[in-house]
Amino acid sequence: MSTILLLALAGCQRDGKPSSDDSAETGAPSTDSTSPTNDTGGDSESSQPPTDTVADTVADTEADTEADTAAPIEPSVAVWIEPEQPGVDDTLTCHWLVKPDSAVDSSWRVGEASQGSAEFSLSSVFSRDDVITCSIEALFDDGSIHDSAAVQILNSPPTVSSVTISPAVPVAGEPLTAVVAAVDPDGDLLTHEWEWFADGALAGDSEELTGDSVTSGAVITAQARSDDGEAISAWLSSPAVVVP
């Protein structure tokens, strides 16, 4: 009797315990080690842009903003001529400054007469008192700007090129003459001043030195300067002569 009861109880315990097959059929959760894992960590890292790409984008944006907000350059033209106080022997040059850079038309005028493009220097086509004008037209997208500069040709002083004593071999007691060669760039008529020296002392102030200053053994020199009515040249001295 006892043996039969023990066998019956063992069979009940075996039948009441679910098997692994029963678990699969009833949908019980599986403990298979191959269940899917969470990959969100790897996906998050690959979606972030590199740091240098972000910096470049910010820099480009700032540069575009500065370019958009930069104030436009106001068009302007400045013109000047050198030298500012020219004479007839000078060469004139016209200078200009244009902002912003643009195409430029330029021209010279002497009085009302055109003398061609101011891209080239100007010389030998004007006289004293002439007014020389350099005109500029700067061509911009929305129009043009005109400007000009002018100078007047001033008087040029004469120059004494040589002073000589005649005769070259003096004779004691005979007068001497100072021969002056001078030029005036404006073609003005000239007058001259003279000074004579005998042994270093002033002996006369006219074109001719009288014979009483021409003594044997004396060292004679002369100097002269020229006057055009507005300007006077520098003094120029002659070579010395010795009276035999």
Q: What residue ranges do the domains of the chain occupy? A: 76-152, 159-242
Q: Distance between CA 98 and CA 78 in Å, rounded? A: 7
Tokens standing for residue 180:
């002056």
Q: Distance between CA 20 and CA 239 in Å, rounded? A: 142
pLDDT band with cut points at 50, 70 and 90 for residue 50: low
Q: Structurally, what CATH architecture does the domain formed by 159-242 represent?
A: Sandwich (2.60)
Q: How confident is the model at residue 213, as a pLDDT?
A: 95
22-26, 45-49, 73-77: the lowest-pLDDT one: 22-26
Peptide bond into 167 cis (omega under 30): yes
Q: How confident is the model at residue 43, as a pLDDT?
A: 46
Looking at per-residue pLDDT, the higher value among 56 and 131 belongs to 131
pLDDT at 175 over 80: yes
Which strands form 159-166's sheet, in the order they lie side by side? 159-166, 176-183, 208-209
Q: How confident is the model at residue 62, as a pLDDT?
A: 62
The string of pLDDT tens digits covering residues 151-168 is 999 999 999 999 999 999
Same fold, 76-152 and 159-242: yes
Q: Distance between CA 55 and CA 52 in Å, rounded? A: 5
Q: What is the mean pLDDT of the chain?
A: 83
CATH 2.60.40.10 fits 76-152, yes or no: yes
Q: How confident is the model at residue 137, as a pLDDT?
A: 96
Contact present, 57 and 50 (Cβ < 8 Å): no
Tokens standing for residue 235:
């003094």
